[in-house]
């Protein structure tokens, strides 16, 4: 029986916020890597900015040819904590998972996440951040992919308010 010598995909767990550093050092050793990222909105100092963030924080995919490469060297790579394993052997990932992730990338290389509303019309919501923090209202729809409209109960009246989607949660 002839064994297939093609590289297979595995998952490396990294140190906190060291995914890119681990990918760089693995690549230098000849291990192809894949770190799926997406565009994340971050609020800091009253500013909203869009940054690149790993889709799976503290994890990245690494391709290893078990017949020709020494996978144990991955364990001591800068930024890598360990390979995810089943017992003593690294746990192989189906290559279709990698293909599906790559198919969801935009032209800039970021994973496109579904931006469907998490709520149904009329769902009760609680505002968890911003000026209306602690207020309750009813979901009234999405204005765009990042903002929701809710009917907020203010002084006994329902007032339509637009908020960042991340500012509300189910009540």
- Residue 66 and residue 90: Cα distance in Å, rounded? 10
Closest CA to 121 of 153, 150, 154, 160: 150
Q: Do 91 and 143 reside in the same domain of the chain?
A: no
CATH number at residue 149: 2.30.30.30
> CA-based Rg of the chain, rounded to a whole angstrom?
22
Q: Do 99 and 128 reside in the same domain of the chain?
A: no
Number of domains in the chain: 2
Interval 52-102: pLDDT, tens: 999 999 999 999 998 899 889 999 999 999 999 999 999 999 999 999 999
Residue 25 structure tokens: 């050092």
Pairing label, strands 147-154, 136-142 = antiparallel
Interval 15-49: pLDDT, tens: 999 999 999 999 999 999 999 998 887 777 777 78
Q: Is the pLDDT of residue 110 over 90?
A: yes
Q: Do 131 and 98 reside in the same domain of the chain?
A: no
pLDDT band at 157 (very low <50, low <70, confident <90, very high): confident
Which SS3 state, helix, strand or coil, does residue 136 take?
Answer: strand
Which SS3 state, helix, strand or coil, does residue 80 take?
Answer: strand
pTM beyond 0.75: the answer is no
Task: Select the more confidently predicted residue: 31 or 113.
Answer: 31
In a domain, 119, yes or no: no
Q: Do 73 and 37 reside in the same domain of the chain?
A: yes
Domain that holds residue 147: 124-170
Residue 5 structure tokens: 């010598």
Q: Do 134 and 54 reside in the same domain of the chain?
A: no
Sign of the dihedral defined by the CA atoms of residues 95, 99, 101, 107, in that order:
positive
Q: Do 96 and 130 reside in the same domain of the chain?
A: no
CATH number at residue 94: 3.30.70.940
In a domain, 68, yes or no: yes
DSSP string, 41-74: EEEETTEEEEEEEESSTTEEEEEE-TTTS-GGGG
């Amino acid at each position: 029986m002839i064994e297939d010598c093609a590289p297979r995909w595995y998952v490396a767990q990294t140190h906190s916020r060291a995914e890119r550093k681990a990918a760089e050092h693995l690549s230098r050793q000849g291990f192809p890597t894949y770190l799926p990222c997406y565009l994340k909105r971050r609020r800091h100092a009253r500013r909203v900015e869009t940054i690149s963030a790993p889709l799976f924080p503290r994890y990245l995919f690494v391709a290893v040819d078990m017949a020709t490469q020494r996978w144990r060297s991955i364990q001591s790579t800068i930024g890598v904590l360990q390979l995810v394993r089943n017992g003593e052997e690294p746990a192989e990932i189906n290559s279709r998972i990698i293909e599906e992730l790559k198919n969801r990338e935009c032209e800039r290389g970021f994973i496109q996440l579904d931006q469907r509303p998490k709520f149904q019309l009329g769902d009760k919501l609680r505002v968890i951040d911003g000026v209306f923090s602690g207020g309750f209202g009813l979901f009234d729809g999405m204005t765009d992919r990042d903002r929701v409209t809710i009917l907020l109960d203010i002084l006994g009246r329902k007032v339509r308010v637009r908020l960042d989607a991340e500012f509300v949660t189910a009540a």
